[in-house]
Amino acid sequence: MRLTVVERELELKLILSPERSITVPARLGYRSDDPYAVHIVFHINSASPVHWTFARELLVEGVFRPCGHGDVRVWPTKAEGRSVVLMALSSPGGDALLEAPAAQVSAWLERTLRVVPPGTEGGQLGIDDALDQLLAR
Q: What is the 3-state secondary structure (H, E, C) of 83-137?
A: EEEEEEEEECCEEEEEEEEHHHHHHHHHHHHHHCCCCCHHHHCCHHHHHHHHHHC
Which residues pair with residue 96 across a beta bridge? 89
Q: What is the pLDDT along the chain (137 residues), one digit of tens a residue?
A: 688 999 999 999 999 998 999 999 999 999 999 999 999 998 766 788 889 999 999 999 999 999 998 899 999 999 989 999 999 999 998 899 999 999 999 999 999 999 998 877 776 665 555 556 667 76
C-alpha–C-alpha distance, residues 43 and 22, integer Å: 13
Which pLDDT belongs to residue 32?
92
Q: Are 86 and 63 in contact (CB under 8 A)?
A: no
Q: State the CB neighbour count (10 A cutoff) for residue 63.
A: 18
